[in-house]
Amino acid sequence: MFKWNESFATGIKTIDSQHQRLFEIGEEIEVLLNTYLDQSTLHKTEELLHELRDYTIYHFNTEKELFHKFNYPDLDHHLSEHDKFVDYLNKVDMDDIKMDQEEFLNNLLRTVAQWIFKHINSEDFKYVPFLKDKIQ
């Protein structure tokens, strides 16, 4: 499910490498889901959730800095999309993980995959021509 391919490439090196890392984290979640889930994997599940949230925030801050630096005209809309996803990640209840890891990971994986694919393909590609022109 989380396999990077060039159709997701924006042509902006920093953004692409960060997107690739988000795909790698998603792939790690997918691998964990396909293993035997028990108390020993609970800690790894929590670690991956924290890593996903922290790296997502790091990536969004990179985009935000570029938007401010070059006065991206759709900044408010794009940042509000970021805020919605960070809110989702912040609202994840760790007790849900403990109750049913498999169901939790399935839901997390599905939500994250849909959001990342949709966001890159629709929202991120909107800023590509603007930023590529400014960066070069």
Gyration radius (Cα) of the chain, Å = 16
* CB-count exposure of residue 81 (10 Å: 0-12, 13-18, 19+): middle
pLDDT, tens only, 50-104: 999 999 999 999 999 999 999 999 999 999 999 999 999 999 887 777 777 778 8
Q: Which of 101, 120, 98 lies closest to 109, judged by CA? A: 101
This prediction's pTM? 0.89
Query: Mean pLDDT score of the chain, rounded to an integer?
Result: 89
Q: What is d(CA 132, CA 23) in angstroms, rounded to the nearest whole number?
A: 22
Instruction: Please state, in angstroms and as integers, the Cα–Cα distance from residue 50 to each residue in 71, 75, 93, following that order.
Output: 31, 26, 12
What is residue 108's predicted lDDT score, i.e. its pLDDT? 84
The better pLDDT of the pair 124, 105 is held by 124
Domains and CATH numbers, the chain: 10-23+34-135 (1.20.120.50)
Q: What is d(CA 6, CA 9) in angstroms, rounded to the nearest whole number?
A: 5
How many percent of the chain have pLDDT more than 90?
54
- Buried residues in 96-130 as b, exposed as e (16+ CB within 10 A): ebeeebeebbeebbeebbebbbebbeeebeebeeb
What is residue 104's predicted lDDT score, i.e. its pLDDT? 82
What is residue 127's predicted lDDT score, i.e. its pLDDT? 95
What is residue 37's predicted lDDT score, i.e. its pLDDT? 65
What is residue 36's predicted lDDT score, i.e. its pLDDT? 67
- Over residues 28-55, mean pLDDT: 82
